[in-house]
Structure 1
Amino acid sequence: MNIVISIVIVLILLGVLASMHELAHFWVAKLLKIKAFEVSLFVGPKLLSWKRNDVDFSIRLIPVGAYVRFSEIDEEGYVVKSDDPHLLINQPRFKRLLVALAGPVMNLILGILIFFLMYCFTGFVSTDIGNPVPGAQTAEVASEYVERDTIVKVNGARVYMYYDFSYEMSTIDPADDVVLTLKSRETGRLYDVTLEPVQKRKPLLLITVESISTENEYHGWKIYSVDEEQNNGNPVLQAGDYVTHFNGVSVADEGFEDYINNLNDDSITVTYVRDGVENEAEIIPVYQDYYTDRGIVLYSYAVNSPANFFKAFAYAAKMPASMTNFTIRGIRDAIRGRVKVYNLVSGPIGIASVVNDVVEDEQDSIGDKIYMLIMLGGIISIALAFSNLLPIPGLDGVQILLIVVEMVIGRKLSEKAEGRLTIIGFVLIILLLIFAFVSDILTIIFGFGT
């Protein structure tokens, strides 16, 4: 049942975004006094129709797409050629270009507004650097940067928002240096800060605890499970035990984590309670090498002041650049073999799968689900803006490309040349649809790309 709901949500979402896209074409044409013959919201059988100012309006059954017709059609379904100066085809190139660009621009604006409104209600995570974390790499260079300066590059790669910052950080090996390029909030000056990892070793206790809370009668950790490899394959501790001390240091002590992470003993004396009786035993720890945390904290802002209101809008306006950056990075890493190509393209099935995951997640509240779906709508709207710029039949990119070519060569392309471009574009869109479909199916059924 949930998958049906998810498909309906996706159809409505795509239908609304497509309708706003087509209405933008219509509104700009109307401003430029260009004649439109029909405006249809959604597709399929008509549910409601009316006529106003010689334009046929309709709302149809299937919320998948929408369209605006700028040409007259005869009874046999053919386009009627006319010298009417109010027809789109007879307009100057710059007017036709404005009408063609209106749809993608509308989707771009919608996406930005969606994220802006979300940030107004929930706040947002910026790329402004926060206080250094004690013991982390940022603490070692705390004197070299100023709190709330903005991170603009990671190892030379441009970042715009938290999303592409996180992606860049996830591709860097823990053993490698990280060069952060920051922009001064005070002067606008760019400067670099290098985070250098320090290799350390810590003991693995090989236990899983129910909670790190020590608010119980023994002031210890209650063990949920014990790894069979503990103590060289001879586990001392058992599920249900309460661990209270290591080498006499209480697990409830504030400095316990630092103590255990810097331990380098061949054996550890563990104090634990079993069946109400306190016991002590020696265990041989397994040590693991690790690198110090980078400790990069990013500032979160609540939109509770005029300054943060404008900051939220400026941050939302970066989303198109962030998505473009993210896509380019993804293609680059797919070429390098870091990510699978199946992760780069998703079609309607993939979108429905994401929506279904949101709908089925029992841990999220209704408010959380609505928030996630609205965010998905913003992402799809911006994605539609860019995808519609592709020179593929049925998309605005074809008309935009043809108009730009006409502007460059100073004349209209021949019907033969337009036909060739149309065929090439048609082949491209078929290949893209097939790839997106196969990608979605393989990802859902076989887990490719995960």
Structure 2
Amino acid sequence: MIGISIISVVVLLGVLIFAHELGHFLMAKWAGVGVMKFSLGFGPRIVGRKIGETEYLLSLIPLGGYVKLLGEAPGEELSPEDEKRAFLKQPVLKRIGIVAAGPVFNLLLAVAIFTVLNMVGLPVLTSEIGALQPASAAMESGMKEGDMIISLDGKSVSKWDEISEIIGRSEGKRLRVTVSRDGRPMEIPVIARLMKTKNIFGEEVETYKIGISPSPRTVIERHNPLSALGKGLRQTWMIGKLTLISIGKMFQGVVSPKSIGGPILIAQIAIAQVKEGIIPFIVFMALLSINLAILNLLPIPVLDGGHLFFFMIEWVTGREVNVRWREMAQQIGFALLILLMIFVFMLDIDRMNIKVISDFIQKITG
């Protein structure tokens, strides 16, 4: 089992890193920029092979990767022929495209994963009522556990998320709820009440509810290719939006920085998802790919977003940012990134209690 766990983590990180670096690589090739190295991993080389001008590497530390471009460092000595293919000699829009392609490919990977899963089929909660809250609007109106909601205000429903959405935006208006009970349709009028609840960030919010919760019954929902793609795009957009909101909530103090996870937590979740099955593992891969894209787009020097920030300034002003200022920002950004990595690593260690560590050592030693 320990072998499967290690393989799952390596596959997860490998696919995400490969997709990201492939974006940089392909865009650089398309733009006519020389690519000197394509590496999965950092540090010492494990294996490698040179094909054409590019050296393809598998390196020791599997926590990232890189694409080394011709002429990407200021002051790099180049022949007149190489200068035409040097990264920093390209028009600013080409440079922006090359840098942005990494995060974009991570987003495309997520869209592709969700599209395929939507075609294969994913379990969704049915419209069957599993429980009613005491003294709720639903209970007082005569609804019962086991009722299957088939329409709300004349709109057919078959999934629980459709029910939640319609009730949530009802604004206290009377709803005509049609349920199937013992195989017979029955219309029940109900008025949703404004209730206080907590959102996923732990904030207290008000929303309209009638006091019902779903049964655990699920059905497999499948989509045709076009519909699956549309849903995959929406899922990627919603998760990306939620990630950005989460970052904002962290700066507001709503979300604790302790919720940040590093390599150890990612590995733990990946292993747990593999135990649940291949689909939960692949869904986690898509979620992580979206997070990787967004975090890389943050305007922090040494990340893609930091490079994009300087190139955008150059595009708007028509002048390159001073090399000295850029190098200073890179050094500060690198130091901050190291501190963040240490902080996240310590959080991961703090989450691991003695029993978890003991069990892990026991598995390795047999």
TM-score normalised by structure 1 residue count: 0.57
Match of 1:353 among 254, 262, 268: 268
CA distance, structure 2, for counterparts of residue 35 and residue 425 of structure 1: 26
CA distance, structure 2, for counterparts of residue 325 and residue 167 of structure 1: 19
Instruction: Give the structure 2 partner of residue 147 of structure 1.
Output: 156
| Structure 2 residue 46 is the aligned partner of structure 1 residue 49 | no
Instruction: Give the structure 1 partner of residue 199 of structure 2.
Output: 168
| Structure 2 residue 289 is the aligned partner of structure 1 residue 381 | yes
The number of equivalent residue pairs is 308
Instruction: Give the structure 2 partner of residue 92 of structure 1.
Output: 91
Does the 8 Å contact 2:107/2:289 carry over to 1?
Answer: yes
Letter in 1 for 2:107: L
CA distance, structure 2, for counterparts of residue 87 and residue 332 of structure 1: 37
Moved more, 346-355 or 29-38: 29-38
Identity of aligned residues (%): 27
Gaps spanning 5+ residues in structure 1: where? 157-165, 180-194, 197-291
SS of residue matched to 1:57: strand
CA distance, structure 2, for counterparts of residue 324 and residue 293 of structure 1: 29
Letter in 1 for 2:47: L
Does the 8 Å contact 1:108/1:385 carry over to 2?
Answer: yes
Cα deviation, residue 89, structure 1: 0.7
CA distance, structure 2, for counterparts of residue 341 and residue 417 of structure 1: 30
Report the aligned-residue RMSD: 4.0
Does the 8 Å contact 1:137/1:295 carry over to 2?
Answer: no
Change (3 A) 1:422 1:62: closer
Q: Deviations over 1:25-56 (max 9, x none)?
A: 1111111222222223444324241322x333
CA distance, structure 2, for counterparts of residue 336 and residue 155 of structure 1: 27
Change (3 A) 1:335 1:381: closer
Q: Deviations over 1:160-179 (max 9, x none)?
A: xxxxxx98379587xx8633
Does the 8 Å contact 1:35/1:88 carry over to 2?
Answer: yes
Match of 1:178 among 207, 227, 230: 207
Q: Deviations over 1:130-158 (max 9, x none)?
A: 477896746859754623468389589xx
Change (3 A) 1:296 1:96: farther
Letter in 1 for 2:110: G
Instruction: Give the structure 1 partner of residue 66 of structure 2.
Output: 67
TM-score normalised by structure 2 residue count: 0.69
Instruction: Give the structure 1 partner of residue 242 of structure 2.
Output: 326
Instruction: Give the structure 2 partner of residue 272 of structure 1.
Output: none
Instruction: Give the structure 1 partner of residue 108 of structure 2.
Output: 109
**Bigger-Rg structure (1/2):** 1
Cα deviation, residue 389, structure 1: 1.0
Change (3 A) 1:170 1:178: farther
Instruction: Give the structure 2 partner of residue 283 of structure 1.
Output: none
Gaps spanning 5+ residues in structure 2: where? 144-150, 171-196, 356-366
Cα deviation, residue 61, structure 1: 5.2
* Mapping for residues 49-448 of structure 1, pairs under 5 Å: 49-52=49-52, 54-60=53-59, 63-71=62-70, 79-81=76-78, 84-125=83-124, 130=127, 137=137, 144=153, 146-148=155-157, 151=165, 168=199, 178-179=207-208, 195-196=209-210, 292-293=211-212, 302-303=221-222, 306=224, 309-328=225-244, 330=246, 340-343=256-259, 345-358=260-273, 364=276, 368=277, 370-445=278-353
Does the 8 Å contact 2:41/2:65 carry over to 1?
Answer: yes
Letter in 1 for 2:288: I
Structure with the higher fraction of residues in helix conformation = 2
Instruction: Give the structure 2 partner of residue 21 of structure 1.
Output: 20
Does the 8 Å contact 1:137/1:294 carry over to 2?
Answer: no
Letter in 2 for 1:146: K
